[in-house]
Amino acid sequence: MPKITIQDFLKKKTEKKKITMLTAYDYPFAQIVDEAGLDAILVGDSLGMVVQGLENTLPVTMDEMIYHTKMVSRAVKNAMVIGDMPFMSYQASIEDAVRNAGRFLKEAGASAVKIEGGAEVAGHIRAMTKSDIPIMAHIGLTPQSIHRMGGYKVQGKTEEAQKRLIEEAHIAEDAGAFSLLLEAIPMELAKKITEELSIPTIGIGAGQSCDGQVLVLHDVLGLFERFVPKFVKRYADLKAEALKAIKSYKEEIEKGSFPSEEQSFK
């Protein structure tokens, strides 16, 4: 099967087929997500929280994103790999944005890049798209704006905020984004945006009308416990499984049943 392209994303929207997406940050998990047949893997800056143990995503650097994206790209055969622009890799200038986005494609094997923001990064999206870097824009709850937003809060609750988000969605599309991620907004608003845009929307906490869905892998697998947002569905409890396995290993060493002859050389 050939790699998923941005044209496949658009085709899925036209054919009303859902786009499936998860995050991944390393080789073994990227291999599993790809083998499961998902359309896209986002190497999200959420890795700061679920892999690095940070309080929020702000300290994540470009070099760290490149390091993780390389591991993911190495593992993936079919899914589209999307690199996530970390905080301060694009805010200061359009030139920063183009150079850093380019690194994901040039050094790390990604085929697209995600950037938080709509209207305020329209010029960035336009310049990156002009440089042949496919861009997924991200509006609604944008975790890099945690200090301005006063926490991880649902966005678009007032009529005025909804109007603004609809405008932002159109601005991102007009600037050249090939898709739009909608995070933590009311489902009716996500439905309206999805119907109005010709590019696909990918929802996380935005209801079932979006053209596709994404979640953080560690939430889905039960590997992140610090907090579980309402929009997360846990499909496995890998922490419990890993704990069980590691405790058995410890016990067997302590009682002398590991290694046995089977794991030894004659």
Active site residues: 183
Pull the structure tokens for residue 76. Answer: 């993936």
Closest to ligand KIV by CB, 122 vs 210, is 210
CA distance 130 to 111: 15
Q: What angle (nearest 5°) sits at the alpha carbon of residue 34, between those of residues 203 and 200? A: 30
Residue 255 is given by DSSP the state H
Closest distance between ligand KIV and the C-beta of residue 246, in Å? 27
Per the DSSP assignment, residues forming a β-bridge with 82 are: 42, 112
- For the CA atoms of 90, 93, 96, 99, the dihedral, rounded to the nearest 10 degrees, stands at 110
Residue choice 4, 6, 30, 42 for contact with ligand KIV (CB under 6 A): 42
CA distance 206 to 213: 9
Residue whose beta carbon is closest to ligand KIV: 44
Binding mask 153-192 for ligand KIV (x = CB under 6 A): ----------------------------x-----------
CA distance 253 to 165: 57
Torsional sign, CA 228, 44, 18, 159: positive
Helices H / strands E in the chain, number of each: 11, 8
Stretch that binds ligand KIV, among 38-46, 151-159, 169-177, 246-254 (CB under 6 A): 38-46
Binding mask 190-209 for ligand KIV (x = CB under 6 A): --------------x-----
Closest distance between ligand KIV and the C-beta of residue 84, in Å? 5
Closest distance between ligand KIV and the C-beta of residue 21, in Å? 8
Q: Based on the shown chain and the rule CB under 6 A, indicate whether residue 22 belongs to the binding site for ligand KIV.
A: no
Residue choice 30, 122, 128, 216 for contact with ligand KIV (CB under 6 A): 216
Q: Based on the shown chain and the rule CB under 6 A, indicate whether residue 23 belongs to the binding site for ligand KIV.
A: yes
Residue choice 45, 173, 211, 219 for contact with ligand KIV (CB under 6 A): 45
Q: Based on the shown chain and the rule CB under 6 A, indicate whether residue 111 belongs to the binding site for ligand KIV.
A: no
Q: Which residue has the tokens 């016990």?
A: 251
Q: Are 259 and 244 in contact (CB under 8 A)?
A: no
Pull the structure tokens for residue 164. Answer: 């603004």
Stretch that binds ligand KIV, among 29-37, 39-47, 237-245, 252-260 (CB under 6 A): 39-47
Q: Based on the shown chain and the rule CB under 6 A, indicate whether residue 76 belongs to the binding site for ligand KIV.
A: no
CA gyration radius, the chain = 20
Closest to ligand KIV by CB, 4 vs 180, is 180
Q: For binding to ligand KIV (CB under 6 A), which residues are involved?
A: 23, 42, 44-46, 84, 181, 204, 214, 216
